[in-house]
Amino acid sequence: MYNSIKMTDDVYWVGVNDRETDIFESLWPLPEGISYNSYLIDDDKVALIDTVKINYNNSFLDKIKNVIGDKKVDYLIVNHMEPDHSGSIKSLCEAYPDMKIIGNQKTMNFLEGFYGITKGTKVVSDGDQIDLGTHRLTFYLTPMIHWPETMMTFDEHDQILFSGDAFGGFGSLDGFLFDDELNINFFKDEIRRYFSNIVSKYGTVVHNTINRLSKILDIKMVASTHGPVWREKTNYIISEYDRWSKQETDEGVVIVYGSMYGNTKVMAEAVARSLSENGIEEIKIFDVSRKNVSFIINDIWKYNGLIMGSCTYNNEIFPPMDYLLKSLESRNIKKRVMGIFGSYSWSGGAVDRLKDFSEKVSCCTAEPIVESKFAPDRKILEQCYELGKNVAQKVKKNNQ
Ligand code: FEO
């Protein structure tokens, strides 16, 4: 027997938890799993909002049947077409052949492209509504959070914003559904990791959408496609998403290093010690070869200091560090105090790429930029100390 969870008199969570996928979208590790949330409104007309990944199709259909019995699903509202939410559309169409699929004009291109569906659809525009009986739903187009077809659906009766991926996070729902049923601190890193890796590139759009919808809607509950449903800390998650979208940060420093023989690592440790001696309490050090980039980006999104050090590889920067830099460039990272160090044996290259990066993303770079030929000697380590001290001062000043 597969259970749904009752959210209000007529609204049910009929989503699923995925603890089987190790690497979501072949990019993001899932140490804590993930949920694919779908919501059912059992009114005079029955509406389903988003579906689940195809692998969970059978349990999803069972959950729907457990709520509505022999009734039919009248509408499927597609807030987002990425396959973790659209994967069960075809089997849903087979189970409920008279069901109308509601989406915007862009949704329809994806629907045809992914699943060959061209019939039984209804195109809606921004502000359009449908009546289910007691519940009236309004659609808001929110393109590029984080795909072009994304939209949100607001239920006036229960004041629920069905927000698609926005306000979601990694992490499965382990018995709980609502924000007040779990320790949110436990979840916070996974929510920010989701935002910083998947949504952050469109931070300005997120910020503008939050501004727009919070002015026109009285939102009591936020129901995302991933993670908990927000009903007690609704303002908290909206304001955290807004802070992250504007790249507002806490005081602290992330040091990321790439090191083949240990020399750049020694420099990283010297910089970290200096940060600590100069009053920085939150310091995170990552070996870029050993930590998946999604966790590094998460902490970079959290803190206002970023110090990067790399060895040189074939006249260029160490490849794993290059991947991180490109990942940060594509997410428009900005407003960080930055420090740079690196090493080489027979030809430089790493430090130049780090300098280019810093200029490109307009981060404020602290002096000195430290470059060691071969193993760092006492003089180089003194420069590392100086770099840590200067970053600490700027980080604290920027946080005032
Ligand atoms: Fe959860 Fe953008 O899909």
How high is the pLDDT of residue 292?
A: 98
Each residue of 261-286: pLDDT tens digit? 999 999 999 999 999 999 999 999 99
Taking residues 15-23, report their average pLDDT: 98
Calculate how far, in angstroms, residue 27's C-alpha sits from the geometric centre of ligand 1: 13
Taking residues 320-348, report their average pLDDT: 96
How high is the pLDDT of residue 142?
A: 98
Each residue of 26-81: pLDDT tens digit? 999 999 999 999 999 999 999 999 999 999 999 999 999 999 999 999 999 999 99
331 lines ligand 1 (CB under 6 A): no
Q: Is the pTM of this model over 0.85?
A: yes
> Contact 30/10 with Cβ under 8 angstroms?
no
Calculate how far, in angstroms, residue 60's C-alpha sits from the geometric centre of ligand 1: 17
CA dist 50 and 37 (Å) reads 8
pLDDT at 132 over 90: yes
Q: Which CATH architecture has domain 250-398?
A: 3-Layer(aba) Sandwich (3.40)
Calculate how far, in angstroms, residue 61's C-alpha sits from the geometric centre of ligand 1: 20
What is the per-residue DSSP string for 269-323?
A: HHHHHHHHHTT---EEEEETTTS-HHHHHHHHHHEEEEEEEEEEETTEE-HHHHH
The confidence band for 140, taking pLDDT boundaries of 50, 70 and 90, is very high
Calculate how far, in angstroms, residue 256's C-alpha sits from the geometric centre of ligand 1: 28
Calculate how far, in angstroms, residue 79's C-alpha sits from the geometric centre of ligand 1: 10
Domain range summary for the chain, segments of one domain joined by +: 5-245, 250-398
Taking residues 252-257, report their average pLDDT: 98
53 lines ligand 1 (CB under 6 A): no
Calculate how far, in angstroms, residue 369's C-alpha sits from the geometric centre of ligand 1: 40
> What ligand 1 atom has the least distance to the C-alpha of 225?
1
Taking residues 346-371, report their average pLDDT: 95
Each residue of 92-119: pLDDT tens digit? 999 999 999 999 999 999 999 999 999 9
> Contact 244/203 with Cβ under 8 angstroms?
yes
How high is the pLDDT of residue 221?
A: 98
How high is the pLDDT of residue 397?
A: 86
Calculate how far, in angstroms, residue 6's C-alpha sits from the geometric centre of ligand 1: 23
Which helix (H) or strand (E) element contains residue 373?
Answer: strand 370-373
38 lines ligand 1 (CB under 6 A): no
Pairing of β 370-373 and β 75-77: unpaired
Calculate how far, in angstroms, residue 54's C-alpha sits from the geometric centre of ligand 1: 13
Pairing of β 370-373 and β 5-6: unpaired
CA dist 154 and 169 (Å) reads 20
How high is the pLDDT of residue 209?
A: 96
pLDDT at 319 over 70: yes
Average pLDDT, the chain: 97
pLDDT at 125 over 90: yes
pLDDT at 1 over 70: no
The confidence band for 329, taking pLDDT boundaries of 50, 70 and 90, is very high
Q: Which of 2-6, 146-150, 215-219 has the lowest mean pLDDT?
A: 2-6
80 lines ligand 1 (CB under 6 A): yes
- Whose Cα sits closest to atom 3 in ligand 1? 82
Decide: residue 290, CB within 10 A, 0-12 exposed, 13-18 middle, 19+ buried: exposed
List the one residue out of 278, 281, 282, 290 whose CA is nearest residue 320: 290
CA dist 187 and 13 (Å) reads 19
pLDDT at 363 over 80: yes
Taking residues 145-168, report their average pLDDT: 97
How high is the pLDDT of residue 3?
A: 85
85 lines ligand 1 (CB under 6 A): yes
Q: How many other CB atoms are there within 10 angstroms of residue 118's CB atom?
A: 9
Query: What percentage of the chain has pLDDT greater than the value 70?
Result: 99
Each residue of 292-303: pLDDT tens digit? 999 999 999 999
165 lines ligand 1 (CB under 6 A): yes
> What ligand 1 atom has the least distance to the C-alpha of 226?
1
CA dist 2 and 334 (Å) reads 46
> Does the structural domain 5-245 have CATH classification 3.90.1640.10?
no
> What ligand 1 atom has the least distance to the C-alpha of 147?
2
CA atoms within 13 A on the CB side of 313: 14
192 lines ligand 1 (CB under 6 A): no
Q: How many other CB atoms are there within 10 angstroms of residue 332's CB atom?
A: 13
Q: How many helices (H) and strands (E) does the chain have?
A: 12, 23
Calculate how far, in angstroms, residue 164's C-alpha sits from the geometric centre of ligand 1: 8
> What ligand 1 atom has the least distance to the C-alpha of 83?
3
- What is the radius of gyration, based on Cα positions, of the chain? 24
226 lines ligand 1 (CB under 6 A): yes
How high is the pLDDT of residue 2?
A: 58
- Whose Cα sits closest to atom 2 in ligand 1? 82
Q: Which of 16-20, 186-190, 220-224 has the lowest mean pLDDT?
A: 186-190
What is the C-alpha end-to-end distance of the chain, expressed in Å? 55
Q: Which amino acid is at 244?
A: W
List the one residue out of 193, 87, 103 whose CA is nearest residue 143: 103
Taking residues 364-387, report their average pLDDT: 97
Calculate how far, in angstroms, residue 85's C-alpha sits from the geometric centre of ligand 1: 7
> What ligand 1 atom has the least distance to the C-alpha of 146?
2
18 lines ligand 1 (CB under 6 A): no
CA atoms within 13 A on the CB side of 200: 28
Each residue of 376-398: pLDDT tens digit? 999 999 999 999 999 999 999 87
Calculate how far, in angstroms, residue 160's C-alpha sits from the geometric centre of ligand 1: 19
How high is the pLDDT of residue 185?
A: 86
List the one residue out of 64, 52, 118 whose CA is nearest residue 96: 64
How high is the pLDDT of residue 187?
A: 87
How high is the pLDDT of residue 9?
A: 98
82 lines ligand 1 (CB under 6 A): yes
| Helix, strand, coil content of the chain in percent (nearest 5) | 40, 25, 35
How high is the pLDDT of residue 398?
A: 79
Name the DSSP class of 195: I
